[in-house]
């Protein structure tokens, strides 16, 4: 017979710590668990919360966190309890309801857990963390309550966003300082190049590009443009869904981690997929970053470098208005010519038109400036973990 306990009652170290359960169902790729793991780490390390993360796909998770054991039903990493979640009924061996319950991306909580939430003396703060969208409606729906049809429980919709009135996006409190230290240290950057590619850093005049992308029909033309570029281009490609296109372009059987290939002015390195914390250094090293989905899109903005976003594709091109909504924020203050070039390039990279590299490259200085101004603007919205913690505490009073 399961026992219902408030997890905070079981903490012998600091009884006042807020206990938080995060539930994450991996739909595909790495974004769902990428966001949840980042949030879990921040709530634990920056807010002192006692966090438990339920995740149904340890294989995807292990790519971001190589220390994770695949055969453990329950393990603790970085002070966070990780439960292998066997949806839909499983809610841990002992049913404990936390003070704050986060249902990520509308994954359904186990019904026994919801029933136990309703029985709890003090109802937990229950939040549904939504996917990031830059669309205007998000601010209207952020923090809207939704009463449960049967139980005396209220779920609140927590919307990440890029503008005021939204939940913001995740940003660790030490991120800027860590980035600045890396950028200021020639030895750290040399060590990064040597460890990651086996090569010394390229000459300062080279354009370094990171490419994290889904399969993309526009990639062949872009590789040709980089091959024919007037200067040298160094492409850094984490192993993944775009690797097959690189292999075809270079006439190789595969473009697996450790491969180095050259055609014309383009040199490309295939990189091993790194643990999540290390991915930022790839973004900080590059002059321009191609990112995708949700979490790498956010990291590119905090890297304060020009970037190109491949949005997660949805049926009926439902993703295209979301792409334009992000552009409306990011490109808002750019001079017309630069904004048009950036918009055309992002559209081309997302299936509408053709990316024109020389045109984008011409505007890189203006885009570098905008990247810095935008990061400062985005920071005004506040870090998502901090915003969420603040709201949850108001619900616990």
Of 21, 280, 294, 383, the active-site residue reads 294
Q: Which of residues 296-355 bind ligand TRH (CB under 6 A)?
A: 296, 312
- CA atoms within a 13 Å half-sphere pointing along the CA-CB vector of 168: 22
Q: Is 294 known to be catalytic?
A: yes
Q: Which of residues 226-285 bind ligand TRH (CB under 6 A)?
A: 238, 273-276, 279
Q: Which listed residue (47, 84, 292, 339) binds ligand TRH by CB under 6 A?
A: 292
Collapsing DSSP states into helix, strand and coil, what is residue 187? helix
Q: CA angle at residue 386 from 309 to 62, to 5 degrees?
A: 55
Q: Which listed residue (40, 44, 64, 266) binds ligand TRH by CB under 6 A?
A: 64
Query: From the CB of 181, what's the least distance to ligand TRH, in Å?
Result: 20
182 binds ligand TRH (CB under 6 A): no
Q: In this chain, which stretch among 21-29, 150-158, 173-181, 322-330 interacts with ligand TRH, using CB under 6 A?
A: 21-29
Nearest-angstrom CA–CA distance, 49 and 116: 21
Q: Where are the alpha helices (DSSP H) in the chain?
A: 7-10, 31-47, 58-64, 111-119, 137-141, 175-184, 186-197, 219-227, 243-250, 276-285, 295-302, 319-330, 336-349, 357-362, 364-379, 384-396
- Which neighbouring-strand residues pair with 54? 23, 83
- Of 7 and 80, the one with the shorter C-beta distance to ligand TRH is 80
Q: In this chain, which stretch among 22-30, 87-95, 134-142, 337-345 interacts with ligand TRH, using CB under 6 A?
A: 22-30
* H helix or E strand, kind and range, residue 193: helix 186-197
DSSP letter assigned to residue 3: -
Structure tokens that stand for 79 in this block = 């002070």
Query: From the CB of 266, what's the least distance to ligand TRH, in Å?
Result: 20
Q: In this chain, which stretch among 224-232, 289-297, 325-333, 367-375 interacts with ligand TRH, using CB under 6 A?
A: 289-297
133 binds ligand TRH (CB under 6 A): no
* H helix or E strand, kind and range, residue 290: strand 288-292
Nearest-angstrom CA–CA distance, 232 and 195: 21
Q: Which listed residue (113, 192, 193, 212) binds ligand TRH by CB under 6 A?
A: 212
Q: How far is CA 310 from CA 90, 110, 360, in A?
A: 35, 33, 16
Q: Is 46 known to be catalytic?
A: no
Q: In this chain, which stretch among 25-33, 177-185, 222-230, 369-377 interacts with ligand TRH, using CB under 6 A?
A: 25-33
28 binds ligand TRH (CB under 6 A): yes
Active site residues per annotation: 32, 294
Which residues are near ligand TRH by CB under 6 A? 27-32, 34, 64, 131, 212, 238, 273-276, 279, 292-296, 312
């Amino acid at each position: 017979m399961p026992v219902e306990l408030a997890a905070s009652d079981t903490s012998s170290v600091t009884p006042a710590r807020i206990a938080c359960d995060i539930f994450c169902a991996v739909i595909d790729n790495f974004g769902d668990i990428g966001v949840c793991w980042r949030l879990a780490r921040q709530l634990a390390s920056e807010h002192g919360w006692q966090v438990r993360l339920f995740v149904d796909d340890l294989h995807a998770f292990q790519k971001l966190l190589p220390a994770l054991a695949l055969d453990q039903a329950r393990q603790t990493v970085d002070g966070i309890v990780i439960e292998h979640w066997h949806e839909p009924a499983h809610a841990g061996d002992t049913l404990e309801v936390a003070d704050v319950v986060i249902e990520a991306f509308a994954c359904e909580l186990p019904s026994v857990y919801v029933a136990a939430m309703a029985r709890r003396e003090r109802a937990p703060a229950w939040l549904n963390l939504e996917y990031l969208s830059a669309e205007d409606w998000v601010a209207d729906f952020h923090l809207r309550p939704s009463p449960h049809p049967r139980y005396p429980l209220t779920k609140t919709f927590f919307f990440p966003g890029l503008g005021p009135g939204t939940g913001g996006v995740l940003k660790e409190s030490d991120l800027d300082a860590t980035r600045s230290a890396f950028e200021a240290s020639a030895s750290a950057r040399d060590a990064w190049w040597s460890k990651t590619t086996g090569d010394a850093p390229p000459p300062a005049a080279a354009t370094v590009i990171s490419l994290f992308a889904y399969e993309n029909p526009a990639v062949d033309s872009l590789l040709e443009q980089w091959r024919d570029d007037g200067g040298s281009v160094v492409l850094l490609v984490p192993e993944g869904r775009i690797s097959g296109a690189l292999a075809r372009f270079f006439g190789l059987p595969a473009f697996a981690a450790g491969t180095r290939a050259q055609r014309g002015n383009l040199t490309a390195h295939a990189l091993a997929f790194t643990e999540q914390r290390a991915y930022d250094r790839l973004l900080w090293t590059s002059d321009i970053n191609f990112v995708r989905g949700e979490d790498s899109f956010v990291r590119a903005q905090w890297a304060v470098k020009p970037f190109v976003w491949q949005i997660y594709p949805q049926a009926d091109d439902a993703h295209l208005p979301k792409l334009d909504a992000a552009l409306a924020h990011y490109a808002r203050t750019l001079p017309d010519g630069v904004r048009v070039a950036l918009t055309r390039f992002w559209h081309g990279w997302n299936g509408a038109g053709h990316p024109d590299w020389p045109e984008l490259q011409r505007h890189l200085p203006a885009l570098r400036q905008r990247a810095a101004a935008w990061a400062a603007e985005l920071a005004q919205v506040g870090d998502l973990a901090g915003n969420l913690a603040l709201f949850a505490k108001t619900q616990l009073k």
